[in-house]
Structures are given as structure tokens and as C-alpha cells.
């Protein structure tokens, strides 16, 4: 009998985050689950790697019987790498990251540890899914977990290597207005605000922006109308449309020759 696919579940909010365990539980019908996550909250870590201190991992308490869990004293990207190299009992067939409380859409992807953890699977030629919820207070994390698990199962069945960014709206399952394949909006859904603590120290927090543009077909527009946003991502950051005019403009350019005054 063939083994069930091994799915590595990770996040950026840390091993004790509810969204992580809701997602792991929702994925159980679709494969064997292992959990590897940062030991503490790493929101906003993006694709950072630990370089200046020892990277360690240890077994963590698992909330789900039969699911092994490890915590890593590093970033989300570290956790995926450590999970694949040290703790996977056999070949991992998919990476699923989340559930993040708060959507990861538009320009905010650049800061997202949730999305960049999934990227670590994609660059290793594994189908990978990042799952986020519009619910910042955690009320609908379970909805996003179910949606994300369904998308992951769809991708796993097709045996194709894709990187999908899945965002569920802040509503119940009954209120979801379908799903849309979207593009990443060139807009930020949140802004970074500094708050002063009573002791005078400063803490930074992302808060929703007002008056955000809603480009048609974008991830932000889908969430606003209570639709699930599914965005295919890739790691090529090249502005391909700019290549021909820049090649023409830079023809004969000598980087060692200063421009004329």
C-alpha cells in the first residue's frame, strides 16, 4: 500500500499559535502531517535566515495525537529548512504555511513570514501554499484552515509545483462569496504605526488602511467582496517589460566612464 503524502506545516506566529494547529488538523484527511515552526512569534520576518547564532530545534508539545512537532529558535524560513533536513522521516511532498491571523495581500507579501515560509518549499520544487485569514482577532481562523486545506488537497492531487497564496475573508463559511484566482495588488492593505507604551518604549503594529484602492481582479478586491483569493506566485523579481527599453538605453554604456557634465 502506498504511503500517504507527507505534508510539512509551518507558520510565522510560533509553535503555540492557534492557526498553526487548526491548519494541521484540517490537513489530516489529505496526508501525514508534521509540524515545524519557530519557537516564538516571527511575524514580519519575511525570508530572513539565521546567520549569527546557533540554530537549534527540539521536540515541541503537539496538540494533535499522532502528529510530530518541533520548534526552532529561528525564523519561518529556518523552520522549513530544518524540518526538511533534520526531522522529516521521508520525502516531504508539500509545504503549507499558516494560518496567519490577518490577510497577506498586496505589497504586504514582502514582509510576510507566512508567505516566505511557503516560498522555501517552492524553491525546493515542492508544491507550497500560504494560508491567511482576514480575521485579525482569530474569530474565523478555522474557516481559513478549511479553505487552505481544500486548496492544498487540490494542488496535491494534480502533482504540479505551484506556489499559491490563499487568503480567506473575515466571515463564516456560509458568507463566503466563492473563490477567485487573483493577482497581487500594487497596494498595501495595512500601514505600520508606532505606539508608545506606558514605560516610554515604542512598539510597532500593522493596522488596516482606509481608502485602499481595489484594482479589479486583485487579491484585495476579492477579500473586500468576501471571496477567497488564490494568487499564484513565483520568485522571479525581474521587471521583464523594462528589459528591452533599458537594453536600448544602456547600449554602449561604460560603467567605468563618468557621465558628461
Residues 133, 100 contacting (CB under 8 angstroms): yes
Q: Which of 22-31, 43-52, 176-185 has the lowest mean pLDDT?
A: 43-52
pLDDT in the model for residue 204: 63
- For the record, the C-alpha cell of 161 comes out as 509545483
pLDDT in the model for residue 132: 98
52: domain CATH number is: 3.40.1210.10
HSE-CB at 239 with a 13 A cutoff on CA atoms is: 6
Does the pLDDT at position 184 exceed 90? yes
Number of structural domains the chain divides into = 1
Domain holding 100, by residue range, is 6-249
* Average pLDDT of the segment spanning 254-260: 80
Sign of torsion over alpha carbons 114, 120, 121, 122? positive
Instruction: Return the DSSP state at 86.
Output: I
pLDDT in the model for residue 40: 95
* Average pLDDT of the segment spanning 31-46: 95
* Average pLDDT of the segment spanning 154-168: 96
pLDDT band at 30 (very low <50, low <70, confident <90, very high): very high
Q: Which of 35-39, 86-90, 136-140, 206-210 has the lowest mean pLDDT?
A: 206-210
pLDDT band at 187 (very low <50, low <70, confident <90, very high): confident
Q: Measure CA 214 to chain center.
A: 21
Q: Which of 33-47, 59-73, 198-212, 239-253 has the lowest mean pLDDT?
A: 198-212
Residues 176, 228 contacting (CB under 8 angstroms): yes
- For the record, the C-alpha cell of 128 comes out as 507550497
What's the helix, strand, coil split of the chain in %, to 5?
30, 25, 45
Residue 257 covered by a domain? no
Residue 174 covered by a domain? yes
pLDDT in the model for residue 1: 44
Residue 258 covered by a domain? no
Between CA 64 and CA 132 the distance in angstroms is 21
pLDDT band at 257 (very low <50, low <70, confident <90, very high): confident
Beta strands in 39-172 (DSSP E): 57-59, 68-72, 94-101, 128-133, 163-168
Residue 221 covered by a domain? yes
Does the pLDDT at position 21 exceed 80? yes
Sign of torsion over alpha carbons 204, 189, 135, 207? positive
Amino acid at each position: 500500500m502506498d504511503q500517504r503524502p507527507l505534508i510539512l506545516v509551518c507558520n510565522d506566529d510560533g509553535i503555540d499559535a492557534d492557526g498553526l494547529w487548526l491548519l494541521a488538523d484540517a490537513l489530516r484527511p489529505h496526508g501525514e502531517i508534521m509540524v515545524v515552526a519557530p519557537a516564538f512569534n516571527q511575524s514580519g520576518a519575511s525570508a530572513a535566515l539565521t546567520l549569527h547564532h546557533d540554530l537549534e530545534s527540539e521536540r515541541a508539545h503537539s496538540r494533535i495525537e499522532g502528529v510530530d512537532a518541533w520548534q526552532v529558535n529561528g525564523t519561518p524560513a529556518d523552520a522549513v529548512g530544518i524540518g526538511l533536513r533534520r526531522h522529516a522521516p521521508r520525502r516531504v511532498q508539500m509545504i503549507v504555511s499558516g494560518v496567519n491571523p490577518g490577510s497577506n495581500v498586496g505589497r504586504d507579501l514582502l514582509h510576510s513570514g507566512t508567505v516566505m515560509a511557503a516560498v522555501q518549499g517552492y524553491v525546493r520544487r515542492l508544491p507550497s501554499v500560504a494560508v491567511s485569514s482576514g480575521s485579525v482577532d482569530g474569530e474565523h481562523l478555522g474557516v481559513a484552515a478549511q479553505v487552505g486545506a481544500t486548496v492544498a488537497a487540490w494542488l496535491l492531487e494534480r502533482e504540479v509545483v505551484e506556489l499559491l497564496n490563499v487568503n480567506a475573508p473575515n466571515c463564516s463559511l456560509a458568507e463566503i462569496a466563492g473563490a477567485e484566482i487573483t493577482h497581487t495588488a500594487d497596494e498595501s492593505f495595512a500601514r505600520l504605526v508606532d505606539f508608545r507604551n506606558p514605560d516610554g518604549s515604542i512598539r510597532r503594529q500593522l493596522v488596516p488602511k482606509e481608502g485602499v484602492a481595489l484594482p479589479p481582479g486583485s487579491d484585495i478586491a476579492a477579500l473586500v467582496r468576501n471571496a477567497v483569493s488564490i494568487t499564484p506566485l513565483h520568485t522571479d523579481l525581474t521587471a521583464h517589460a523594462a528589459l528591452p527599453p533599458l537594453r536600448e538605453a544602456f547600449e554602449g554604456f561604460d560603467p567605468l566612464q563618468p557621465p558628461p557634465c
